[in-house]
Structure 1
Amino acid sequence: MCYLTNILSSKVYDVANDSPLELATKLSKRLGVEVWLKREDLQPVFSFKLRGAYNMMAKLKKEQLDRGVICSSAGNHAQGVALAAKKLGCNAVIAMPVTTPEIKWQSVKKLGATVVLVGDAYDETQAYAKKRAIEEGRIFIPPFDHPDVITGQGTVGMEIIRQMKGPLTAIFVPVGGGGLIAGIAAYVKRVAPEVKIIGVEPSDANAMALSLHHGQRVILDKVGGFADGVAVKEVGEETFRLCKELVDGVVLVSHDAICASTRDVFEEKRCILEPAGALALAGAEAYCKFYGLKGDNVVAITSGANMDFDKLTVVTELAKVGRQPEAVIATVMPEGPGSLN
């Protein structure tokens, strides 16, 4: 109940838009269900992440804001924190891995934040940010595992319930650390418990699915980086607690399916989503086909559009495989002299 009341009183609309819920007419006709897209890719930073970042930062005391904030992120969370800091008039330091594409750290820098490129892997970057937070007295803004961040993301669920006029069967949510799905579930299951909340993960970044299966948080040995916005080795403690109680299941999808859904959204809306942004739609299609849904209303959250331009070639090629006009043929051979012959 505390999440419900906090979501209802959230101040995220100081920076976030009430994003539209749009019918995907071509996809709906092909699948035989009404597929609605919750367009979080239309936010000022092209991602839902500013909701959670701003909600947490807006609750900080003046003396805390005066000391500044810091976060570690490779992309969307960084832009959310930077925009929130600009709105609230506080200093922000954003730690990003040295491998972060220039377009992403330049976007953060343009919002007025100080960018520090440190660490080859995200774990090193996060360790640096937390250490510097202690040394300088800054407030560390986590990307997902904090009640205020979860509350901010939960406003997406509040909007869906308000915008959806007819009966709703399921909401499909991309899952990384679990902040978005935990927030949506916390709201929706309180006001419309009949609506299924289904998470969607790439098959090579499935920390939430494994954690729910084993009943405890699982740390992945390695995680695929194709959908970098959800490439998380371990889900949050609070997000897992909520998901374990409220989420109805998780769908796993391939890179091919993600790319095919990216193409579907482009053909519908002339918008290019990042892989994590098309993830929920890929899961919605797989779920509807598997369970043979017909005539139902389902919502897929298009969570972000911060696509690296260099990745477009890969997405275009894999989309053809995902929609099956083309196939990739592979073979395995022993590694030894003469095996190629």
Structure 2
Amino acid sequence: MMGYLKRCIHAVAYSLVLRRKPIFVACLVGIAISVFACVFMLIEYLPELKGASIHTAASYFMVILFCAGGAILIKKTENMEGERKRENIYYAYFTAFSLYLTTAAIGLSYADCTYGDSFPLAYFIIMSIIPLLLVHEPIQVFCYELGGAIIISCVLITQADYSYLPCINFFVFAFIISLGSIALYRLSAKTTTEYDAALRSSLTDELTKASNRRDFERQLAYLHHYKGNYVIVISDIDGFKGKNDGEGHLAGDRVLRQYANCLKESFKHVYRYGGDEFAILSKLSPDEVIYRIKQAQQSLAELDISACFGISKVPPLKDAKEYFALADAALLKAKEKGRGQIAIHDGENINQPI
């Protein structure tokens, strides 16, 4: 949790100091005001905790939900590019601030939204953030917000001293916010789709449709923080240069595509590292990886293709580049032994599986 918080603070500081865009400044103000509101309510209702009033319980629930939502957002976006991650964070928390402004625009004072008769609107504001944090489809946002209004209204009408009029306001408010959510989604959907398509294209090898070297190095940097074991595999097609030079580049391209397809049938994450070299990242055990490589070799043999493989197991939280070098050394050892060989580096020695 502290790691996520540090990343969030770093993103805010970077964007505010280096980017200096008005929208980032506005979002930072929104974050500050929203956090202040949560802290204020926590202090305001702390003396009433023993009373166990509905407002007190909702206040604590609101603070927890807000913080949990932030943690979820950062977790969901940790694999994104830095710029897109910041945009997601600011969009979500700026939404919270804008919803407070919406309640003010329809005639509700800050006091009413916080602890007056209209206080439940504040609960609903925070609940509205969750679907935005998780970037749901518009229909999901619409259903979630209306569902939240129904739940809150059903709870509140059980209170003997509560008016039915605010319940009607909840539904109107939910409908307006839902329409706003749909409008915002549609405005951003095209840009997001184009961005995702461009990102996928930049991380995909055009010939084989496997991921490319850039994506492989990107994943290696991310796996440096992974707390589990994983395996790096480097492979090289036997005699590819001779086939490519002797039969032509079209034949060589066909071999590369067939080889990549065979690997993708056995492994989820396959990367074309360069030329006829391919890399694999897997969270499977080394024994399972070797078993799948042998299955792939059987399929490749039917296509008159053979390849050598070098394997290295990476312990948790270790520098993946170091173990990539070990896998590369294992590949060289395998190629020395002949065609279609497999070698595994255990950190000290290079061995061949039985």
> What is the TM-score normalised by the length of structure 2?
0.22
TM, length-normalised to structure 1: 0.22
Q: Which has the larger radius of gyration?
A: 2
